Amino acid sequence: MGDSMAQGFKNGGVYRTDLSFPAILKRSLQPSAEFDLPSFSAQAGIPINIEVLIRGLAEKYGNGITLGNSIGAGSEIYKTLRRIKSYWEGHLKSLKVEQDTPFHNQAIWGFTISDCILMSEEYCRKYISTNRPEYSVFNVLPDHAMYITARLVLNPSFSKKFENNSMVDNLRLLSEDGGIENLIVCIGHNNVVGAVTNLDIQYSEESDLNARYADRNCTVFRPEHFKSELRSLYEEIAKLNTKNVFVPTIPYVTIPPAIRGVNEDKEKPRSGYFDYYSRFWIWDEDFDPDKHPHLTKDDAIELDIVVDQYNAIIQKLADEYEFCVVPVHKYVRAAARRRLGKDNVSPFPPGFVKALQKNEKTTYLVEDLENIRISTDYLRLDEDTGKIDRGGIFSLDGLHPSTIGYGLIANIYKMSMEKRKVEFEKPIDWDYIIESETLITDPPPLMKDLRVLLKFLALSRQERLTFLGKNLLQLVLEAFSSKPELD
C-alpha cells in the first residue's frame, strides 16, 4: 500500500504497474505467490507518459525539434493528449473493470498518510462530478487524474459493496482472507514533496491534520503533524492480520532532479548545496532569481532537516509497533553524487553491475566497479554518440524512479525482508529490469539535444496560447500539488 513509489509511477504517469518495485520483488518470490495488480496500460498510462510522447515525435519528426517542425510537433502532442484525456475521463469507453476482490497493490499516486484512511471511491466519484473545471481547449491532461486512478484501485468494478472502502479497508478485507504474510506500507513522501513541486514551503496547520487532499493548504507537514498522522495509520495497520510489515525511510526531496540546482557564479556546489533550486527545464545561464520561482540553499537545508525528523519518527514508531524499517533513504543518499558525506553502503549491488556489463546495450556504462555511469542526475545523452552520459535512476518527470531505480529500491527491500526471514526463490532479475528500461537500452534520439527538447515541452508564453495554455512539464508537477496552480 502507499503512494506513487509503490504504484510504479514514472515518466509523468502510472503505466507499467508490473514494473513497480513490489512487482519486481514478487518475481523473486516463489512462483505461487499471488500479486494482483490494477492495469493502466491503456493509452500509455495516466495522466501522461513523457517517454511515449517523445518517441512518437521522433517517429514523425526525426531526431530534432526545429523552428520549422515545432508547430506540427506541438499539434501532434495536442491531438495525442486530447485522445488520452478523453479515454481516462470515460468518454470513449467505460473504465469499469470486473474485479471481485481488492488488488494486492493498493498504492495510489499523490496520496499522503491520511488519504489512505479517508479517501474512498465514492468520495472520489463525487469529487470529480462536483468539481468540474470550466472547459478549455488548453485542458490537455485528464481532469482529476489522481481521483480517477484512486477509483480504479479502490473499487475498480464501481460496485456499491466496496464504494466506501478506503485503502486501509481493502487491506482489512485481504487480511481477513487468510492473513497477509508481508505488507509494505510505502507512504509519507507526499507529506513533503509539495515543497519541491510548488517551490514553496508552507507548513501544515491544525486544519490540515486528517484532511483530504483537496482540503489541505500546506506543502510540508510539520514533523509533529507527520507523527500524529503516521501513528493513526500505524494503529490501523497494527489491527490487521499480518506477519511482517515493512516501512521505508524517506529520501531527501532535494535529491531527485525535478529541481535544478544552480549557483550564482554558475559553478558546481562547494558545500553539497546550490545557491538556488529551480525548475529542471531552466538552464543555468537562463536562470534569473528575480524572474524564476525557486528555493534557496537555506530552504533545501531546511527540507533535509525536516526529512531527517520524519525518518527519526518512522524509526521510533516502527520500533513501537514492531514493524521493519527499510533504509531507502540511506541508499538513495549514497547514490547522489553531490551530497556531502559518505554512507557505508554501495548503491549498486554486484548483480546489477554484472547485468549492466553483460548487456551489450549497457556495457559501456561500467568503466570499472568504482565508476558506473548511472546517477541521480536528469537523464542526459552524449550529443555525439546518442548513448547515456549520466542519469538513469530517475525517470523523465524528474521526480520518480526509472525502472532501474525501482529495481534498486526492490533490492533494498529484499535485503530487509531477508533479515526478517522472508524466503526468496531467486535473486532480483536484473537482466529483465535493465532490458525493460528502454530509456537506457534504447534512449530516445530527441534527447540528444535535451535543452531544446525541454524548452519545447516547457512552451514559451506565445507558444502556450497556440497549443496548450501551460507547459507539459509544469502540468506534471501540478498533478502532485494540493494547490491547483503553480507559478
Task: State the pLDDT at residue 77.
Answer: 85
Task: State the pLDDT at residue 460.
Answer: 47
Q: How far apart are the first and last CA of the chain?
A: 32
Q: Is the pLDDT of residue 342 over 60?
A: no
Residue 23 belongs to what H/E stretch? helix 21-28
Nearest-CA neighbor of 165 among 102, 97, 238? Answer: 102
Q: Is the pLDDT of residue 235 over 60?
A: yes
Q: Is the pLDDT of residue 459 over 80?
A: no
pLDDT band at residue 466 under the 50/70/90 scheme: very low
Residue 53 belongs to what H/E stretch? helix 50-61
E-strand spans in 174-301? 180-184, 242-248, 259-262, 276-279, 295-296
Give the pairing type, strands 276-279 and 295-296: antiparallel
Q: Prior bond to 47 cis, omega within 30?
A: yes
Of 303-317, 341-355, 454-468, the poorest mean pLDDT is in 454-468
- Cα separation, 286 vs 267, in Å, equals 14
For residues 213-241, average pLDDT: 96
User: Which has more pLDDT, 86 or 474?
Assistant: 86
- Cα separation, 42 vs 15, in Å, equals 8
Q: What is the torsion angle, in degrees rounded to the nearest 10, for the CA atoms of residue 225, residue 226, residue 232 and residue 234? A: -160
- Cα separation, 64 vs 55, in Å, equals 11
- Cα separation, 300 vs 427, in Å, equals 37
Q: Is the pLDDT of residue 137 over 60?
A: no
User: Which has more pLDDT, 268 or 332?
Assistant: 332
Task: State the pLDDT at residue 268.
Answer: 64
For residues 95-99, average pLDDT: 93
pLDDT band at residue 487 under the 50/70/90 scheme: very low
pLDDT band at residue 30 under the 50/70/90 scheme: confident
pLDDT band at residue 64 under the 50/70/90 scheme: confident
Task: State the pLDDT at residue 104.
Answer: 96
Nearest-CA neighbor of 214 among 262, 261, 150? Answer: 150
Q: How far is CA 421 from the centre of its chain?
A: 29
